[in-house]
Amino acid sequence: MKKIIISTGGTGGHVIPAQILYDYLAHNNQIIITSDKRGINYINKRKYKIKEIEVPKLSNNVISFIPFLIKFSLSIIKSYLFLNKNKIEILISTGGYMSVPVCLAARFLNLKIFLFEPNLVIGRSNLFLLNFCEKIFTYNKKIKNFPKKMRHKNLVINPLIRKEIILTKKNLKRKLKLFSLLIIGGSQGAKKFDRLFNEDLIKLSKKFRIKIYHQTSIQNLKKLKNFYVSNNIDFYAFSYNHDLHKIIKRCDFAISRSGASTVNELVFLETPFLLIPYPHAKDDHQFFNAKYYVNKNLGWLIRETDIKKNFLYKFVKNLIKNKKLIFQKKKNMNNFHNRYDWNSNSNQLNNLISK
């Protein structure tokens, strides 16, 4: 039995894989998840053992660099003391700048380090830490910006899907009486999603029987609800939800950013999608994520800057009137994920960790 830290934080895209990795490894190991304050909001605190290690975000302001450097150094020291005190043997990082201090502390202690990269473009933190790791878990052999000399460290695994999604997939049924549309704003850029399609949603609601499921930030929730109520649109608005998979399965179609975790859940639950990559994502990684799945004929893709007036109205109208478009995507998704097996990932990772 190994003592393992899974380092994460920031957005749900980093935190969800950390929880799945915890579930894979917890049976045979002692595990703690470390996260910054922001990331802890996405963690099920009743299920997972958590340690908060706050990490400052680097600012472009030159004046704030010295305070940042001091706080960042303190994060490394705090991580070092925690890892040493708990006699941690292995560190797994799910990426992001939040994990860098913990990884550096693990390096100083000569611990085994494993990285995780779900995107089709290697993140800058993972690129920096690649020299120090044993392996990096990815979903693809061809990762953009991945150094050729480090390819031997790339271990391709099946997408990380939450166990509760796998166990409940067969029991979740869609409603067929109306067209259900899910809008997933994500942990970044949700505010823009709240107003991007307002006019189109009003037009759709007047012409068709539809219901909108809309995920947004807590800060935007009240304003969003007011919009739907004032326009007499059938809706369910919510902030981050651990049971998002149940909502996904109820819906005929989804509009989403293209974070790797969200897209994989949409594919696994066979909910066709229109992906709109977050335009400010580092190295445009969300676009490359989306492009990969769209090339597999699993959904549609559009840049946010290319969205014009009436785009969504015409797009969804076409889907409602031509149901074969959605059925074909669902069939492709089923073929894409039909060999997925929780145990294959679990055995692969546990065998690697136990060495």
Residue 80's domain spans which residues?
3-161+341-354
Q: Could you tell me if 208 and 305 lie in one domain?
A: yes
- The token pair that represents 226 in the structure block: 């007011």
| pLDDT tens column, 299-329 | 999 999 999 989 999 999 999 999 999 999 9
What local confidence, expressed as pLDDT, does residue 175 receive? Answer: 55
Q: CB within 8 A of 80, min separation 6: which ones?
A: 105, 108, 109
Q: Which residues of the chain have pLDDT under 70?
A: 168-176, 186-191, 339
- Do both 210 and 274 map to the same domain? yes
Does pTM top 0.75 for this prediction?
yes
Greatest extent of the chain over all pairs of C-alpha atoms, in Å: 63
| C-alpha dihedral sign at 76, 80, 82, 87 | positive
Sort 235 into a burial class: Cβ within 10 Å, 0-12 / 13-18 / 19+.
Answer: buried
pLDDT in tens, 138-184: 999 999 999 999 999 999 998 999 888 887 666 656 555 789 999 99
**pLDDT given for residue 67 in this prediction:** 87
The residues near 27 (Cβ < 8 Å, ≥ 6 apart) are: none
At residue 173, the pLDDT reads 61
Residue type, 125: S
What pLDDT does residue 190 have?
Answer: 62
Q: What per-residue confidence (pLDDT) applies to 272?
A: 96
pLDDT of residue 174: 59
Per DSSP, 188 falls in state: S
One domain for residues 292 and 348: no
* 214 contact partners, CB below 8 Å, separation of at least 6: 182, 183, 185, 194, 224, 228, 235, 236, 237, 238
Q: What are phi and psi of 56, to 5 degrees?
A: -70, 150
- The rounded radius of gyration (Å) of the Cα atoms in the chain is 21
Q: Give the separation between CA 181 and CA 282, rounded to whole angstroms.
A: 28
Q: How far is CA 82 from CA 35, 79, 106, 161, 328, in A?
A: 13, 5, 10, 29, 51
Q: At 353, phi and psi to the nearest 5? A: -65, -35
The answer to whether residues 127 and 196 belong to one domain is no
Region at 297 (left for phi over 0; alpha for psi -120 to 50; beta for the rest): left
CA dihedral 58, 64, 69, 75 (to 10 degrees): -60
> What are the DSSP E strand ranges found in 133-229?
135-138, 154-156, 179-184, 210-215
Q: What does each C-alpha distance from 321 to 168, 267, 318 come to in angstroms?
A: 30, 22, 5
**What's the pLDDT at 234?**
96
- Quick one: 180 and 222 in the same domain? yes
What is the CATH classification number for the domain harbouring 150?
3.40.50.2000
Contact 257, 185 (CB under 8 A): yes
Shared-domain flag, residues 257 and 324:
yes
195 and 110 housed in the same domain: no
Q: Are residues 121 and 201 in the same domain?
A: no
Q: How many domains does one find in the chain?
A: 2
- Reported in sequence order, the residue ranges of the chain that DSSP labels E, i.e. its strands, are 3-7, 30-35, 50-52, 90-93, 112-117, 135-138, 154-156, 179-184, 210-215, 235-238, 253-256, 273-275, 299-301
Residues 148 and 240 in one domain: no
Rounded Cα distance between 214 and 201, Å, is 12
Q: State which H helix or E strand residue 67 sits in.
A: helix 65-85
Same-domain status, 147 and 243: no
- The strand order across the sheet containing 273-275 reads 235-238, 210-215, 179-184, 253-256, 273-275, 299-301
CA distance 190 to 205: 21
Work out the number of other CB atoms within 10 angstroms of the CB of residue 203: 17
Residues 129 and 185 in one domain: no
Q: Are residues 149 and 14 in the same domain?
A: yes
pLDDT at 219: 85
- pLDDT value at position 344? 81
